[in-house]
Structure 1
Amino acid sequence: MKLKASSLAAAVSAVLCADAWAVDPQYIKLSESLTFTPELKVGERYDDNFRAVEENEESSWITEITPTFVLGAEGRKSAYALTYSANTDIFHSSHKDDNTDHHLTADGALKFDARNLLKLKAGYHQVEDTAADDQNLTDGQRVENDKYTVANVGGVYTYGAQSARAQIDLSADYEELRYQNSDQVNAENERDTTALRTTFYYRVAPKTRALVEARHTNFDYVSNDRLNSDNIALLGGLTWDATARTSGTVKIGGEKKRFDDSSVDDASGSMWEVGVEWKPRTYSTFNLTTRRGIDEGDDGASSIETQSTTLSWGHKWLERLRSDVSYSYADNEYQDIDRDDKIKTVNLGLTYEMRRWLDVGVGYTYAEDDSSAIGESYERNIYSISVTASL
């Protein structure tokens, strides 16, 4: 979907940005300011361990059908997008696992003047997962896939012009996680999450800003009161744009998790979030992302101290041929139980842009979880081919 070349379009590019599409689709103009953009992805993949288990692995050819529809509207000082996608997986060796995930999101941005910008978002996601940390096993056999919904709403208010020396972001988000499994499976994980964040920016160079960020997140569990808690974090860092062929954000600080139940030990530690892009050539891009923080617990753990790093490389070999390679490593240390997972993932992809509106891609994914817990390790290979089409 294309936007007019304006300051508003730049500010809300995440809402209606053509780069979010694998292809470059044309939209249908419904009115002067209302557009409709459809896209369809059809793929076939072979997964040799689609439940991600250590023993009794199951393999299958899986057909994926994913239509996506975007309804966009743009005014002189506002932009909105309503997006719906349905991801259908058909398991040819296990039709009882056939499922369709539904994703509905709404995004909006209102630019009141040069100093005041408001971004809003909301979403509803209905998901069925054949591979999960809690395997839901009885006597080595799968009982039921994880089935859950996530509903969220939030927004960010920005005060200060892009060219100003100082700027501040105020954000708030609310999320509900609910499971639809039978016999109250996963009920202990249902929760409401409220997150508040304040980020202050100060320009120290034409394209570089220093930042200070404070966060407060409240986790309110529906039935598992033992895990009710508050996460508090304070970070500082830099964000820069297109300086010496790089752009990115670095945040470093500390985080503490305080439980309402005094019998559960609090958790604390260093925290960082880093995202850096380096473009040595216009046709070649490297990305590095790394994070350390405290996540919510699972499988009996009160929390998980996680540290993850991903390095990716995208290269355009010919006008219509590009490759994407990535390597990820995550170390998840479960608190209150004896479990430490070290997860490695390698992704290889090749995409041929047959037409402006048509892409053909092939890919390979290798995933390995080396877990200290009995029965939680696994290896997984996925081979895929897909076709993505639009108008």
Structure 2
Amino acid sequence: MSKKYPLHALTAALSATACANAWAVEPQSIKLADGVQFTPTLQVSERYDDNFRAVEDHKESSWITRLTPTFALGAEGHKGRYEVKYSSESEIIHSSRNDDNTDHHLTAEAALQFDVRNRLQLNAGYHRVEQVDSDNSDNLEKLNNENDKFSTINASALYSFGAQGARGQIDMGAKHEKLRYHNRNHINDDLEHESTTLNAIFYYRVAPKTRALLETRYTDYNYVSNDMRNSKNYALLGGLTWKATAKTSGTVKIGSEKKRFEESGVDNMSNSMLEVGIDWKPRTYSTFSFTTRQAIDESYESGIGASAVKSTSISFDWEHKWGARLSTKTSYARSERKYQDYERDDDLDAFGVDLTYKLRRWLDVGISYRYATNDSSREGEGYDRNIYVFNITASL
């Protein structure tokens, strides 16, 4: 069975134990100095997953315990805000203790405002992740007998020019990402790559709370050992962003994207591109969110020869506060993935319900349910999955 890079899979959200409203706690920070605060948070969850390997045959179920401590160090100055955050996610898979794993996440960000016209945002992160492997993999992967282990490093910068109320504004961004695997027997080496993205967005105010936008975007993908996937993506998008009232806000981008491969034996690709995110708040305690996206993605599947994936996704969320303590979130998402140069199409549907009860300012309890089904044209790649979760989130 081909390997999957989980940060780009819709099911990653399904396997998360925390319900969406679990972070409704209001942490009490520890003041270390003027403008410097330390904030610890702990989440403990227990879930039952009836197909924790997300496979079509030979399903395995298990109770899974997850511990997630988070430590954030923040500082504010006259012209900037800074934060460094570390969190770990330790999973105990009770029916398969060999698959126990711990992920590590370290991030840093800075928001600087030099004057009313010049602003800069900086972000960096390191993530060391272990993904539970499938048990119906090929012989080499069985010989490997370990979970997928990989790390990502990312750094980005966004410079904005123009006052907040000005008629025109410009954003210029740069981002670099690096993916490396740490398995034995060179498993997934063909997925290792680096990518660099550059983009520029011009905003023009057409109404008091509405701006038209034009964006250009360039991404360079450079694979370590798989030259057939080396490529460059070019995108041009136009649209609107608005906050018309207290009830409605959103961004709509429509355009086209081209992917040009360095190897002459791989066909270049073109595709229409769509990025939409809209929030509607008919009441202060109720929010409906809609997002959709269409683009060309990397395949993140090892050893199958797919050059890229044309993906389309759509999601709906409804968050509602039923009182001072009780809140819920209902969500639905669908993802359609069409593999290029490989005979495989996937249609993934995911549904979730979360309920959170605020016992104290510093303590939440929640229950949630997740269901996912993947309909794949490739034999052995479809599956159904149910996840039931109970979690506790605490802070100072």
Give the TM-score taking structure 1 as reference length.
0.93
State how far apart, in whole Å, the 2-side matches of 1:145 and 1:135 are. 13
Task: Provide the rounded CA distance (Å) in 2 between the counterparts of 1:170 and 1:322.
Answer: 38
For structure 1, the residue ranges without an aligned partner over 5 or more in a row are 1-18
1:20-39 aligned at under 5 Å gives the runs 21-39=23-41
Number of the residue aligned with 1:107: 109
The 10-residue stretch of structure 1 (144-153 or 272-281) with the greater mean CA deviation from structure 2: 144-153
User: What is the letter of the counterpart of residue 380 of structure 2?
Assistant: G
Instruction: Give the equivalent residue in structure 2 for 1:388.
Output: 393
- Equivalents in 2 of 1:370, 1:277: separation in Å? 29
Partner of 1:16: none
List alignment gaps of at least 5 residues for structure 2.
1-20
The amino acid across from 1:323 in the alignment is: T
Return the alpha-carbon distance in structure 1 between the equivalents of residues 284 and 129 of structure 2: 38
Change (3 A) 1:322 1:138: same
* 3-state DSSP of counterpart to 1:318: coil
Partner of 1:246: 248
1:288 aligns with 2:293: no
Q: Which residue of 1 aligns with 2:17?
A: none
Q: 1:318 and 1:276, CA in 2 relative to 1: closer, same or farther beyond 3 A?
A: same
Partner of 1:87: 89
Q: CA RMSD in A?
A: 1.7
Q: Determine the C-alpha separation between the residues in 1 that align with 2:209 and 2:99.
A: 50
Moved more, 341-350 or 234-243: 234-243
Q: Distance in 2 between matches of 1:209 and 1:333?
A: 34
**Could you tell me which residue of structure 1 aligns to residue 238 of structure 2?**
236
Are residue 351 (structure 1) and residue 356 (structure 2) matched?
A: yes
- Give the superposition deviation at 1:144: 3.1
- The sequence identity of aligned pairs, in percent, is 57
**2:279 maps to amino acid:** E
Measured after TM superposition, the shift of residue 50 of structure 1 is: 0.6
1:138 partnered with 2:139:
yes
Q: Which moved more, 1:293-302 or 1:164-173?
A: 293-302
Structure-2 change in CA distance of 1:28 and 1:242 (3 Å): farther
CA deviation after TM superposition for structure 1 residue 23, in Å? 1.0
Compute the displacement of 1:131 (Å): 5.7
Higher relative contact order (CA 8 A, sep 6+): 2
SS in 1 for 2:177: strand
Q: Report if aligned partners of 1:301, 1:337 keep a CA contact under 8 Å in 2.
A: yes
1:215 maps to a residue whose letter is R
Matched residue, 1:336? 341
- Distance in 1, matches of 2:186 and 2:367, equals 40
Measured against aligned partners, the alpha-carbon deviations of 1:61-92 in whole angstroms (never above 9, x if no partner) come to 00000000000010010110000000001000
Pairs within 5 Å for 1:19-98: 21-98=23-100
| Contact 2:230 2:263 (8 Å CA) reproduced | yes
Tell which deviates more after alignment, 214-223 or 236-245. Answer: 236-245
2:239–2:252 contact (8 Å) kept in structure 1: yes
Aligned residue runs from structure 1 range 169-188, under 5 A:
169-188=171-190
- Residue type at the aligned position of 1:187: D
Aligned to 1:7: none
- Distance in 2 between the 1:135 and 1:205 partners? 57
Partner of 2:11: none
SS of match in other structure, 2:33? coil
Q: Using a 3 Å threshold, how does the CA distance of structure 1 residues 158 and 368 change in structure 2: closer, same or farther?
A: same
| 1:50–1:131 CA contact under 8 A, matched in 2 | no
Distance 1:57 1:20, change over 3 A: closer
Task: Please state how far the C-alpha of 1:244 moved relative to its aligned partner.
Answer: 6.5
CA distances 1:125-184 after superposition (whole Å, capped 9, x unpaired):
00011268x974439969432210000111100000110000000000001000011100
Higher mean C-alpha displacement, 107-116 vs 143-152: 143-152
Residue 314 of structure 1 corresponds to which residue in structure 2?
A: 319
Greater shift in the superposed pair: 152-161 or 134-143: 134-143
| Counterpart Cα distance in 2 of 1:155 and 1:147 | 28
Give the whole-Å Cα distance in 2 for the aligned partners of 1:106 and 1:41.
21
- Amino acid corresponding to residue 237 of structure 1 in structure 2: G
Amino acid at match of 1:365: R
- Find the residue that maps to 2:114 and give its secondary structure: strand
CA distance in 1, matches of 2:34, 2:231: 49
Q: Distance in 2 between matches of 1:100 and 1:161?
A: 44
Q: Indicate if the aligned counterparts of 1:290 and 1:309 stay in contact, CA closer than 8 A.
A: yes
2:23 touches 2:393 (CA, 8 Å); kept in 1?
Answer: no
User: How far did residue 319 of structure 1 move?
Assistant: 1.4
Q: 1:151–1:175: 8 Å Cα contact kept in structure 2?
A: yes
TM-score (norm 2): 0.91
Distance, in Å, in 2 between the alignment partners of 1:156 and 1:224 is 31
Match of 1:11 in 2: none
